[in-house]
Amino acid sequence: MRPKVRKVVIPAAGLGTRFLPATKSMPKEMLCVVDKPIIQYAVEEARASGIEHVIIVTGRSKSSMEDHFDVSYELEATLRERGKLDLVREARKVSDLASVSYVRQKEPLGLGHAVLAARDLVGNEPFAVMLPDDLIDAAGVPALRQMIDVFESTGDPVIALLKVAMEEISAYGVIRGDRDAKDARVHVLKELVEKPKREDAPSDLAIIGRYILTPDIFEDLVATTRDKSGEIQLTNGLRALVSRRRLLGYEFEGTRYDAGQKLGFLKATVDLALKRDDLGPALRAHIQSLGLR
Ligand code: UTP
C-alpha cells in the first residue's frame, strides 16, 4: 500500500514586498481576506484534504502566526466574562484546526530553500506543499485532495496546473507535457521552465502553489544551484526530478486567486464576501449602487 500524505509544508517566510507597507511588521500570510488570514484558508483546505500535520516555514515576525493557531487564554477569558460564548467557540476552532509545527528559514533564499528547511520535520514520507497566497475556492472536493487522489492512485509526485492568459505567462513556472489518455486533467510532464518569455513558453499551463512531493525532492533541492537573484527555486529542483522519474501535472477544479498581489487579493475579498450570507446581499447592493459599467 502507498504511504498516506499526512503532512503539509506551508512556506510563509517570504518578504512579501508587493504588499509593503502592510508587510513591514507582519507576514503577508496574515493579511485577511474578509475575516481570516490567508494562511488559515490554506490550513483549512489541508485539513479538509485529510492532512494531519501542518509545518509552517516562518521568517521574520513569526509570532503572529504562532499566536493565531494557538489557544488565546486571555481573549477567551475576556469573551467568557462578557458572555460571548459563540465567539469563544470561533476562536477555539482555529486552535483546534490542526497540529502545527514551525521551522525557521533563516534567510529568504527562495521557495526551494524554504521547502528544504522543513526536511527534518517531513522525514522520509510523501508530503504536500501549499503556497497560501494561491487561495483556491473549490466548490466540491478541495484542490489539494484532488491532487492527493492522483498521487494515491499513481504513486507519482503531482503539481497543480492552471491555464493562464499568454500575456501573463512569464510570471509563472510553465510546463510542457502530454495529456493523459484516461484523465484529461492529468499531464505527464516533460519539461518545466521558470518564468519564460512569452515567445519561449512551452504551453499556457502554469504551475500553481499546490504540490504533492516525495522525499527524494530534498536531494534535488540540495543539488540545485542558486538562480540570478541568489535564490533556490522549487521549480529548478523539480526540473532535476522530472529528468529522473515520472512527474504529473494536474489541472485542478476550483477558482484560484493570486492573493499575493493586490488585484488578486481584492478579487478574492470581493468574491468570497459576495458568497457569504451575512455580507453578500449588502455588498452586492453596494456594488450595484456604484453604477459601474
Ligand atoms: P513569493 O514568490 O510570493 O515571494 O513567495 P514573497 O517574498 O512572499 O512576496 P513578494 O514577491 O516579495 O511580494 C511564494 C511563497 O513562498 C514563500 C512566501 O512566504 C510565499 O508563501 N517564500 C518565498 C518563503 O517561504 N521563503 C522564501 O525565501 C521565498
Q: Which residue has the cell 527555486?
A: 233
What pLDDT is attached to residue 186? 97
Judge whether 114 and 100 are in contact, CB under 8 Å.
Answer: no
Pairing of strands 99-104, 32-33: unpaired
What pLDDT is attached to residue 137? 97
What pLDDT is attached to residue 62? 80
Alpha-carbon gap, residue 289 to 161, rounded angstroms: 37
The reported pTM is 0.95
Confidence category of residue 206, pLDDT binned at 50, 70, 90: very high
Is 58 among the domain residues?
yes
Pairing of strands 186-194, 127-130: unpaired
What pLDDT is attached to residue 80? 93
Whether residue 81 has pLDDT greater than 80: yes
Whether residue 63 has pLDDT greater than 90: no
Ligand 1, atom 10, lies closest to the CA of: 16
Whether residue 61 has pLDDT greater than 80: no
Judge whether 12 and 56 are in contact, CB under 8 Å.
Answer: yes
**Residue range of the domain that includes 182:** 7-289
In the chain, the percentage of residues whose pLDDT exceeds 70 is 100
Mean pLDDT of 176-197: 94
pLDDT tens-digit series, residues 227-246: 888 999 999 999 999 999 99
pLDDT tens-digit series, residues 242-289: 999 999 999 999 999 999 999 999 999 999 999 999 999 999 999 999
Pairing of strands 186-194, 173-179: antiparallel
Is 1 among the domain residues?
no
Burial 174-192 (b: 16+ CB within 10 A, else e): bbbbeebeeeeebbbbeeb
Mean pLDDT of 106-134: 96
Count the residues in the chain.
293
What pLDDT is attached to residue 9? 98
What are the grid coordinates assigned to 112, written together?
526551494
How far, in Å, from the CA of 21 to the mean position of ligand 1?
16
Ligand 1 contact via 18 beta carbon (within 6 Å): yes
Ligand 1 contact via 260 beta carbon (within 6 Å): yes
What's 200's DSSP letter?
G
Is 86 among the domain residues?
yes
Confidence category of residue 292, pLDDT binned at 50, 70, 90: confident
How far, in Å, from the CA of 231 to the mean position of ligand 1?
11
How far, in Å, from the CA of 13 to the mean position of ligand 1?
6
Confidence category of residue 3, pLDDT binned at 50, 70, 90: confident
Ligand 1 contact via 16 beta carbon (within 6 Å): yes
Alpha-carbon gap, residue 36 to 240, rounded angstroms: 37
List the one residue out of 49, 16, 46 whose CA is nearest residue 30. 16
Return the CATH number at 13: 3.90.550.10
Mean pLDDT of 148-157: 96
Burial 222-251 (b: 16+ CB within 10 A, else e): eebeeeeeebbbbbbbbbbbbeeeebbbbb
Can you tell me which atom of ligand 1 is nearest the CA of 109?
28
Q: Which phi and psi angles does 49 have, rounded to 5°? A: -95, 5
Alpha-carbon gap, residue 247 to 187, rounded angstroms: 9
- Give the number of other Cβ atoms within 10 Å of residue 75's Cβ: 13
What pLDDT is attached to residue 293? 79
Q: How much is the mean pLDDT over the chain?
A: 94
Q: Which residue has the cell 493557531?
A: 69
Judge whether 201 and 122 are in contact, CB under 8 Å.
Answer: no
Can you tell me which atom of ligand 1 is nearest the CA of 13?
25
Q: How far is CA 141 from the centre of its chain?
A: 16
What are the grid coordinates assigned to 65, written together?
502566526
Ligand 1 contact via 117 beta carbon (within 6 Å): no
Is 234 among the domain residues?
yes
DSSP string, 137-172: E-SSS-HHHHHHHHHHHH-S-EEEEEE--GGGGGGS
Is 227 among the domain residues?
yes
Ligand 1 contact via 28 beta carbon (within 6 Å): yes
- Give the number of other Cβ atoms within 10 Å of residue 67's Cβ: 13
What are the grid coordinates assigned to 293, written together?
459599467
What pLDDT is attached to residue 159? 98
Ligand 1 contact via 233 beta carbon (within 6 Å): no
How far, in Å, from the CA of 289 to the mean position of ligand 1?
37
Whether residue 124 has pLDDT greater than 80: yes
The domain tally of the chain equals 1
Ligand 1 contact via 114 beta carbon (within 6 Å): yes
What are the grid coordinates assigned to 218, written together?
530534498
Mean pLDDT of 88-99: 90
Confidence category of residue 37, pLDDT binned at 50, 70, 90: very high
